[in-house]
Each structure stands twice: as C-alpha cells, then as structure tokens.
C-alpha cells in the first residue's frame, strides 16, 4: 500500500473517502442508478418557453444537495402560464429531465410546453383533446411536456426511458415527449 507522507493519506483511505462521498451524493429514491447514469455531481436544467418568452439555465443540484433558490426559480418557470399558478415540482421529474438532457449530449435547451397545470387548465385541455388525463400528473407537479429542434421525439424518449425513473410518452404527431416521475411505463408512437 502506498502512502503520501506529506498528508498521511493512503490510497485505500482516499478510495474509501471517495466511495463514502458517492454514497452520500446519491439520490434517495428507488431508481437512483438510472438518474445517476446521466446526471453527475452537478445537475443543470436548461429550458425556454415559447408561451412566455422566458429562459432558464440553472444549476439546481450540487454534490448531493438541491439549491433551494434555484429550485424555487425552476418551479416558477414551470408554472401554469395560463393561470400563473405555481406548484413545487417534484424534483424527481426535474432529475429525469436533466439526466435525459445529458444523455442526449446536446446544448440546446428544452422547449417547455407544459409543466404544472392547474385543475382548471387541465379540465379545459381535456375538453379539447382526448389525450389529456383526468388525473394528470401535471396537476401534481410531477410531469413535463418537452420538445427540441435538434433531437427527434424518438431520441428524446429513448434518453428519458434510459433513466428508468417514470413515465415516458411519445407524441410524434405533436412533436413532444412527456416525462414524469410516476410509475415506469411508456406509450405513444
């Protein structure tokens, strides 16, 4: 075993410290391995909204800790733009989005079509389309509908599925992907 005499640290103690840090930094939810595959020690979310004209490029997680003010900004960005209603987004959904983005190895931000939806907005959308769930996870702050111009719906869905963290819906006709932190499942074409 090698030991650095200037610090008194052995290779084994350094590796042990690294392993302990890795365990502490891991998310505490059941599919942590799927999220960690694409997320890293810094988690960043990049989005813009065609509805509001707003943009966000935010590091919201560093070395195992969510940054409270950053999460607050993400929640506001993902609000129901029709009612201006804000809900705390489930951080597992944000993690899925960030990990999928990293797996696609792209600099383009997501275009957010829908994050949180108030019950009023959900009911209105449901009256116009059969594809809107009555008890949508959007109303719980657990889902997002996203689009990219440099990646296809299939590429985005594959990246989200690789995270194994929730539902992934492909909406090829409307050119977007639904990502949520609910039960792992897929649908659409």
Concatenated DSSP letters for 146-165?
EE-SSS-HHHHHHHHHHTTS
40 located within any domain? yes
96 located within any domain? yes
146 in Cβ contact with 57 (< 8 Å): no
100 located within any domain? yes
CATH of the domain at 106: 3.30.1380.10
43 located within any domain? yes
Q: Which domain holds residue 101?
A: 30-188
E-assigned strand segments in the chain:
3-4, 9-10, 42-48, 55-62, 65-66, 110-114, 143-147, 167-171, 176-180, 185-188
Total structural domains within the chain = 1
67 located within any domain? yes
20 located within any domain? no
22 located within any domain? no
Give dist(CA 7, CA 39) in Å, integer.
32
pLDDT (tens digit, 9 = 90+) per residue, 38-72? 555 899 999 999 899 999 999 999 988 999 999 99
pLDDT (tens digit, 9 = 90+) per residue, 91-139? 999 999 999 999 999 999 999 999 999 999 999 988 888 778 888 999 9
Question: Would the pTM count as exceeding 0.75?
Answer: yes
Cα dihedral value 91, 51, 56, 34, nearest 10: 40
């Amino acid at each position: 075993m090698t030991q650095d005499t200037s610090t008194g640290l052995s290779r084994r103690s350094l590796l042990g410290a690294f392993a302990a840090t890795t365990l502490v930094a891991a998310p505490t939810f059941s599919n942590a391995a799927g999220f960690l595959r694409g997320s890293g020690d810094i988690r960043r979310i990049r989005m813009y909204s065609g509805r509001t004209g707003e943009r966000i490029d935010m590091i919201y997680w560093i070395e195992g800790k969510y940054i409270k003010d950053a999460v607050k900004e993400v929640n506001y960005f993902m609000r129901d733009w029709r009612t201006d209603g804000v809900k705390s987004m489930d951080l597992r959904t944000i993690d899925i989005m960030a990990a999928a983005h990293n797996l696609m190895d792209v600099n383009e931000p997501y275009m957010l079509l829908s994050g949180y939806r108030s019950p009023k907005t959900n009911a209105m959308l449901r009256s116009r389309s059969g594809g809107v769930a009555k008890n949508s996870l959007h109303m719980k702050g657990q889902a997002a509908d996203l689009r990219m111009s440099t990646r296809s719906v299939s590429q985005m869905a594959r990246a989200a599925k690789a995270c194994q963290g929730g539902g992934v819906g492909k909406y090829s006709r409307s050119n977007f992907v639904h990502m949520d932190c609910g039960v792992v499942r897929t649908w659409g074409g």
